[in-house]
Amino acid sequence: MEQGTGKTRTALELISRRYNAGKINHILWLCPCSVKRTIERELEKHVAGDLSMFTICGIETLSSSIRANVELRRLVYEKNVYLIVDESNLVKNHKAKRTQNIMRLAEDCQYKLILNGTPISKNEADLFAQWMILDWRILGYRSFWSFANNHIQWDDNIRGKIKKMLNVDYLARKIAPYTYQIKKEECLDLPDKVYSTYYYELTYEQRELYAYVADKLLFEVDEMFPSTIYRLFTALQNVISGLAVNVDGPKIESKPFFKKPMDNPRMQIFMDVVSQIDDKVIVFCKYTHEINNVVKELNDEYGEGAAVPFNGDVKQKERQKNIDKFADKARFFVANKVTAGYGLNLQFCHNIIYYSNDWDFATRSQSEDRVHRIGQNKKVHIIDICADMTLDERILKCLSRKERLVDSFKFYIENSKNKKDLKALTDWIDGIENS
């Protein structure tokens, strides 16, 4: 179900039927840590009476907390538990500890749901772990390697890189009977999203550093080691963000490139864009130093308390306070989209500025729909800040390409339910992936 279409309420209705029939006596709700309080509020709103039958746990907690894993294993062993994995794209990596731990929990749960608005962020391989949590028999593979043997063509030049997905129509047919899909346009009358991009140029000194870093690290790229490619991209994005980087050693070292944040042309174009908006604004940044600088400049310009931060450096209790401040008097909500991209209901705002982006389409899509959901009655304006003739432009194109991939696969599911021939669609997807 797309973001804002009522996944939580729908899940609660399904849970209610099993609970009232005596088939379950407890509900384990796994969700991103950042939205635990939001889920609690939703339960208080929709569920009457005692809520002790609910246990809410952060998905990220299962990556490292032995105590949490032991307690939840005991819970699913002793009780008849209905397992909910909310925002299941966080467990798409079959090798991740949290994914493996959730799979173990799922083995002792007869009833399970995975909830997501964007189940595919990279390619159809994202489906394996999510559906494995439900039941291996849905896709018919007990291991990722048997799945890969039938559906993944690996790149011969880069180890671990997927060149092409195979037999996608088979996957669509297998998951279709277990998939309930709702799009916004089918159940909501929401205003449109309006996209715009503001371009700026790096300073001469930045451009010189950018060219040096690109030349040096591009020469060091080894296709057999993807880490060398990530190193190149990271260094270039650091330069674009306003950092002076040193790539002559084994590690990338960085420090502020400009004496003052306002000397950064990215900050200048951002502040110019903000000056044209008279309402509340959500600002998403990739890096912590960007969040700190944006909050400082906005508070200097519009008064202390005008901007509040929301990222990993802000403690959980403070995060909720900052959300309340934004809903009340604060005008700017400056966040990392990984932290603020899930579960928050911010539809009282209709302006989003992406001060900087990364490659992850799933968190981009989720973050946009914090405002484009039930209750939004104004046209949503989404603005990207982009450094001209840099990696920024490539990132925006990449995000656009992934969006088409997701839409195409959803189309697969719909057509597989209608038992139509998907050969043409398979060829079309291949063309998108190879473009």
pLDDT above 90 covers what percent of the chain?
53
Q: Return the higher-pLDDT residue of 36 and 276.
A: 276
Q: What is the pTM of this model?
A: 0.67
For residue 285, the SS3 value is: coil
When the pLDDT of each residue in the chain is averaged and rounded to a whole number, the result is 86
Question: In 3D, which of 356, 398, 367 has the Cα closest to residue 264?
Answer: 356
**What pLDDT, on a 0 to 100 scale, did the predictor assign at position 302?**
94
Q: Which amino acid is at 349?
A: C
Residues 171-187 have pLDDT tens digits of 989 999 999 888 877 87
HSE value, Cβ hemisphere, 13 Å, CA-based, for 328? 8
> Does 419 score more than 60 pLDDT?
no
For residue 84, list its beta bridge partners: 29, 113
Torsion of CA 137, 141, 142, 145, to 10 degrees: -170
Distances (CA, A) of 116 to 190, 271, 338: 20, 34, 15
Tell me, what DSSP letter sits at residue 191?
P
> Does 142 score more than 80 pLDDT?
yes
For 52, residues 6+ apart whose C-beta sits below 8 A from its C-beta are none
pLDDT above 70 covers what percent of the chain?
90
**What pLDDT, on a 0 to 100 scale, did the predictor assign at position 425?**
45
Q: How far apart are CA 56 and CA 32, in angstroms?
A: 10
| Least confident residue range of 48-57, 348-357, 402-411 | 402-411
Question: In 3D, which of 196, 195, 197, 202 has the Cα closest to residue 387?
Answer: 202
Tell me the pLDDT band of 415, cut-offs 50, 70 and 90: low
For residue 403, the SS3 value is: helix
**What pLDDT, on a 0 to 100 scale, did the predictor assign at position 22?**
95
Q: How far apart are CA 126 and CA 120, in angstroms?
A: 6
| Least confident residue range of 135-139, 279-283, 355-359, 372-376 | 372-376
What is the residue whose two structure tokens read 């104004």?
378
Quick count: other Cβ atoms within 10 Å of Cβ 196?
Answer: 9
256 backbone dihedrals φ, ψ, rounded to 5°: -55, 135
Tell me the pLDDT band of 429, cut-offs 50, 70 and 90: very low
Residues 304-343 have pLDDT tens digits of 999 999 988 888 778 889 988 999 999 999 999 887 766 6
For residue 40, list its beta bridge partners: none
Mean pLDDT of 374-389: 90
Long-range contacts formed by 296-301: CB under 8 A, 24+ apart = 296/261, 297/261, 297/262, 297/267, 297/271, 298/274, 298/331, 298/332, 298/334, 301/271
Tell me the pLDDT band of 420, cut-offs 50, 70 and 90: very low
Tell me the pLDDT band of 362, cut-offs 50, 70 and 90: confident
Distances (CA, A) of 388 to 164, 265, 394: 31, 11, 10
Quick count: other Cβ atoms within 10 Å of Cβ 40?
Answer: 14
Mean pLDDT of 154-167: 85
- Name the token pair of 225: 């080691």
Mean pLDDT of 272-279: 93
Q: How far apart are CA 17 and CA 143, in angstroms?
A: 32
Domains located in the chain, CATH noted: 7-186 (3.40.50.10810), 190-389 (3.40.50.300)
Mean pLDDT of 70-88: 95
For residue 306, the SS3 value is: coil
Report how far Cα 289 is from the mean position of its chain's Cα atoms: 21
> Does 18 score more than 60 pLDDT?
yes
Angle between helices 391-417 and 361-368 (to 10 degrees): 80
- Does residue 267 come out as left (phi exceeding 0), alpha (psi in the -120 to 50 range) or beta? alpha
> Does 426 score more than 60 pLDDT?
no
Q: Return the higher-pLDDT residue of 184 and 7.
A: 7
Tell me the pLDDT band of 293, cut-offs 50, 70 and 90: very high
* Terminal-to-terminal C-alpha distance of the chain: 28
Radius of gyration of the chain (CA): 23
| Least confident residue range of 39-48, 71-80, 224-233, 426-435 | 426-435
> Does 38 score more than 90 pLDDT?
no
CB 370 within 8 A of CB 350: no
